[in-house]
């Protein structure tokens, strides 16, 4: 996980160390400036005040002349030629001479003018020991504390990171929760992390069992349904072979055969949905118009006795490589919905080179109903006896399985348009 919790913690501590370093370095620089200017200026001013107090008691008191400070006195009314040339033109105040290693305070009193010179090297030495050295020590302390805190934080989140890595490798279709079994957890996975791992292990186990039960039920039920369907189909074939069969009974047997074929298509679709998505079903190249035409003929029987006109238009060839019975289930469900919710008017079915479109003039749907129409067991009009609310859910799952797009657009009282687009 490139953006996992350990990486975020590491970045947070690095940013913290960088910002702290910048703040401390800036503080050290300010301390150095204060030492060079503010502190030295204060020291020289105090030294001048002390000298003038001694001078008032004894006018022959010589100017300060120590290891760090050198003083020059120019009595009032006397020439300043005895001063170094770079000091003669300086006004009263504190000065940092450019190109020179001197910090100078010029202080004037009624008795004369006092020049106190402090060597810059001495100021820099003070700045180093009282500014830079403390800054370096504080930086080292910050780095040490940050490193110790980072190591502790990393050790605390390592169980969470381990758990996230294990979950990221799960297959959503069949999550392997064996590594999260309580007896297989690492020793450092404790507390809330262990509780979370136990909950995920229980959840994954239930999900796997549920998926397995669903697949087994769909597979077994589909297999068991084939036997009675085979009996029905064989019996109806034998009955249709009777030349003396009355026309009314013949039409009834043909309807039974057609319903049996539809049921076989539904069973095949269920078996496809029950398989893993990486297992390709048996497919073949077929003409979409042939499948749609068969479903239109079946739908006409549903519209018998109603003032609804059903039309089929084929605007171009459309061949697909897929299981034909899947297309039969998809188109059949959409057509049955159109027939069930259209009391009068027309239903137009168009087969284009890249799509199948079914338009009806039925009761239509609102935007709220349209948003829920693909949910299992949802029915737009529960008062109508037809359907269980599973048809469109099955249509969506089958289309997703084969990369087709199914769209519905509708307006209340103006009908619905269902479109199947093929990639």
Residue 2 pLDDT > 70: no
What mean pLDDT is predicted for residues 173-200? Answer: 76
Across the chain, mean pLDDT equals: 80
- Of 251-260, 326-335, 342-351, give the lowest mean pLDDT range: 251-260
Read off the pLDDT of residues 259-281 as tens digits, 9 standing for 90 and up.
Answer: 777 777 777 777 777 665 555 66
Q: Do 128 and 58 reside in the same domain of the chain?
A: yes
Q: How far apart are CA 375 and CA 390, in angstroms?
A: 8
Q: Do 300 and 272 reside in the same domain of the chain?
A: no
Read off the pLDDT of residues 231-268 as tens digits, 9 standing for 90 and up.
Answer: 887 888 888 888 888 888 887 887 787 777 777 777 77
Q: How far apart are CA 336 and CA 48, in angstroms?
A: 108
Q: Is residue 13 part of a domain?
A: yes
Q: Is residue 183 part of a domain?
A: yes
Q: Is residue 79 part of a domain?
A: no
From 279, 303, 333, give the residue that closes a domain. 279
Q: Do 227 and 259 reside in the same domain of the chain?
A: yes
Measuring CA to CA, how many Å separate 310 from each of 73, 330, 347? 121, 18, 5
Q: Do 264 and 238 reside in the same domain of the chain?
A: yes
Q: Do 268 and 298 reside in the same domain of the chain?
A: no
Q: Is residue 366 part of a domain?
A: yes
Q: Is residue 358 part of a domain?
A: yes
Q: Do 330 and 205 reside in the same domain of the chain?
A: no
Q: Is the pTM of this model over 0.85?
A: no
Q: Do 411 and 295 reside in the same domain of the chain?
A: yes
From 250, 279, 308, give the residue that closes a domain. 279
Q: Do 340 and 358 reside in the same domain of the chain?
A: yes
Q: How far apart are CA 220 and CA 324, in angstroms?
A: 22
From 260, 279, 298, give the residue that closes a domain. 279
The enclosing H or E element of 5 equals helix 5-33
Q: Is residue 70 part of a domain?
A: no
Q: What is the CATH number of the domain that holds 375?
A: 3.30.565.10
Read off the pLDDT of residues 100-140 as tens digits, 9 standing for 90 and up.
Answer: 778 888 999 988 999 998 876 666 666 667 666 777 777 77
Q: Do 229 and 249 reside in the same domain of the chain?
A: yes
Q: Is residue 105 part of a domain?
A: no
The enclosing H or E element of 6 equals helix 5-33
Q: Do 350 and 261 reside in the same domain of the chain?
A: no
28 — pLDDT class (breaks 50, 70, 90): low
Q: Do 13 and 138 reside in the same domain of the chain?
A: yes
Residue 392 lies in domain = 281-421
Q: What is the CATH number of the domain that holds 228?
A: 1.10.287
Q: Is residue 88 part of a domain?
A: no
Q: Do 292 and 272 reside in the same domain of the chain?
A: no
- What domain count does the chain have? 3
């Amino acid at each position: 996980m490139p953006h996992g919790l350990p990486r975020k913690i590491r970045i947070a501590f690095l940013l913290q160390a960088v910002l702290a370093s910048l703040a401390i370095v800036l503080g050290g620089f300010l301390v150095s400036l204060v030492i060079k200017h503010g502190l030295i200026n204060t020291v020289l001013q105090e030294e001048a005040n002390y000298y003038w107090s001694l001078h008032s008691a004894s006018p022959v008191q010589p100017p300060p002349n120590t290891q760090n400070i050198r003083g020059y006195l120019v009595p009032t009314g006397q020439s300043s030629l005895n001063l170094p040339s770079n000091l003669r033109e300086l006004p009263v105040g504190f000065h940092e001479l450019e190109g020179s290693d001197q910090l100078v305070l010029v202080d004037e009193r009624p008795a004369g003018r006092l020049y106190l010179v402090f060597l810059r090297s001495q100021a820099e030495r003070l700045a180093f020991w009282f500014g830079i050295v403390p800054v370096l020590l504080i930086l080292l302390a910050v780095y040490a504390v940050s490193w110790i805190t980072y190591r502790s934080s990393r050790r605390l989140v390592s169980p969470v990171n381990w758990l996230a890595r294990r979950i990221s490798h799960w297959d959503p279709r069949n999550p392997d929760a064996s590594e999260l079994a309580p007896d297989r957890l690492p020793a450092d996975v404790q507390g809330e992390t262990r509780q979370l791992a136990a909950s995920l292990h229980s959840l994954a186990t239930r999900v796997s069992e549920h998926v397995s039960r669903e697949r087994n039920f769909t597979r077994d039920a589909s297999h068991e349904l084939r036997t009675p369907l085979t009996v029905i189909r064989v019996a109806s074939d034998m009955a249709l072979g009777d030349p003396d069969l009355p026309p009314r009974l013949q039409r009834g047997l043909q309807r039974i055969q057609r319903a049996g074929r539809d049921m076989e298509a539904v069973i095949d679709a269920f078996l496809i949905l029950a398989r893993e998505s990486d297992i390709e079903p048996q497919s073949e190249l077929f003409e979409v118009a042939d499948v749609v035409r068969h479903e239109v003929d079946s739908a006409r029987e549903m519209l018998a006795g109603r003032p609804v006109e059903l039309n089929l238009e084929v605007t171009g060839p459309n061949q697909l490589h897929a299981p034909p019975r899947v297309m039969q289930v998809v188109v059949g469900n959409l057509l049955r919905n159109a027939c069930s919710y259209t009391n009068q008017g027309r239903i137009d079915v168009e087969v284009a080179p890249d799509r199948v479109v079914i338009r009806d003039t039925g009761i239509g749907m609102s935007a709220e109903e349209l948003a829920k129409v693909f949910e299992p067991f949802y029915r737009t009009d529960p008062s109508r006896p037809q359907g269980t609310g599973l048809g469109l859910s099955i249509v969506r799952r089958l289309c997703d399985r084969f990369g087709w797009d199914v769209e519905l657009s509708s307006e209340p009282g103006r009908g619905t348009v269902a479109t199947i687009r093929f990639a």
